[in-house]
Amino acid sequence: METDEPGLYGLGCATFTQRCQAVKTLIDEHLKPLVVGREASEIQELWNLMYQNAYWRNGPVINNAVAGIDIALWDIKGKMASMPVYQLLGGKCREALTLYRYANGGSREEILDKAQRLWEEGFHHIRLQYMPMNGYPQMQREWKPDGAKDGFYQDPHAYMRETVGLFEHAREKMGFEPEFIHDVHERISISDGICLAKELEPMKLYFLEDLFSPEQVQAYGELKKMVSTPQAYGELCTHPLEWREAVASRSIDYIRIHMSMVGGMTPTVKCAHFCELYDVKTAWHGPTDMNPVGFTAQMHLGLASPNFGIQEWPDYGENIFKVFNGMPEMREGYAYVNERPGFGVEFDEKAAEKFPYRKEVIGWTQFRVTDGSLHRP
Residue type, 81: A
Question: Judged by CB under 5 A, does residue 183 bind Mg ion?
Answer: yes
Taking the least distance from each CB to Mg ion, the nearer of 87 and 216 is 216
Taking the least distance from each CB to Mg ion, the nearer of 75 and 235 is 235
CA–CA gap between residue 96 and residue 254 (Å, rounded): 19
Least distance between Mg ion and beta carbon 210 (Å): 5
Taking the least distance from each CB to Mg ion, the nearer of 70 and 235 is 235
Question: Judged by CB under 5 A, does residue 186 bind Mg ion?
Answer: no
**Which of these segments, 34-42, 154-162, 211-219, 229-237, binds Mg ion (CB under 5 A)?**
229-237
**Which of these segments, 25-33, 76-84, 126-134, 176-184, binds Mg ion (CB under 5 A)?**
176-184
**Which of these segments, 29-37, 90-98, 142-150, 179-187, binds Mg ion (CB under 5 A)?**
179-187
Least distance between Mg ion and beta carbon 77 (Å): 30
**Which of these segments, 14-22, 110-118, 181-189, 318-326, binds Mg ion (CB under 5 A)?**
181-189
Least distance between Mg ion and beta carbon 123 (Å): 17
Taking the least distance from each CB to Mg ion, the nearer of 77 and 281 is 281
**Which of these segments, 168-176, 218-226, 228-236, 367-375, binds Mg ion (CB under 5 A)?**
228-236
Confirm if 345 and 11 have CB atoms less than 8 A apart: yes
Tell which positions 288-317 bind Mg ion, by CB under 5 A: none
Q: Report the residue closest to Mg ion, judged by CB.
A: 183
Taking the least distance from each CB to Mg ion, the nearer of 47 and 308 is 308
CA distances to 44, 95, 197 from 182, in Å: 36, 27, 10
Least distance between Mg ion and beta carbon 22 (Å): 23
Q: Using DSSP, state whether 152 is helix, strand or coil.
A: strand
Specify the DSSP class assigned to residue 53: T
Q: Which of 99, 154, 106, 149 lies closest to 127 in space, CA to CA?
A: 99
Least distance between Mg ion and beta carbon 347 (Å): 26
**Which of these segments, 91-99, 182-190, 270-278, 316-324, binds Mg ion (CB under 5 A)?**
182-190
Q: Which of 214, 157, 148 lies closest to 366 in space, CA to CA?
A: 148
Kindly give the interhelix angle for 265-276 and 43-52, rounded to the nearest 10 degrees. 100
Q: Other CB atoms closer than 10 Å to residue 250's CB: what's the count?
A: 13
Q: Using DSSP, state whether 183 is helix, strand or coil.
A: strand
CA–CA gap between residue 275 and residue 288 (Å, rounded): 25
Q: Which of 235, 279, 275, 241 lies closest to 259 in space, CA to CA?
A: 235
Taking the least distance from each CB to Mg ion, the nearer of 235 and 242 is 235
| Cβ within 8 Å of residue 63, ≥6 positions away | 238, 260, 261, 262, 263, 264
Q: Which helix (H) or strand (E) holds 374?
A: strand 374-375
Least distance between Mg ion and beta carbon 96 (Å): 22
Tell which positions 230-259 bind Mg ion, by CB under 5 A: 235
Taking the least distance from each CB to Mg ion, the nearer of 229 and 370 is 229
CA distances to 164, 178, 228, 299 from 171, in Å: 11, 9, 18, 30
Residue type, 67: A
Taking the least distance from each CB to Mg ion, the nearer of 13 and 27 is 13
Least distance between Mg ion and beta carbon 213 (Å): 12
Per CB under 5 A, residues contacting Mg ion are: 183, 235
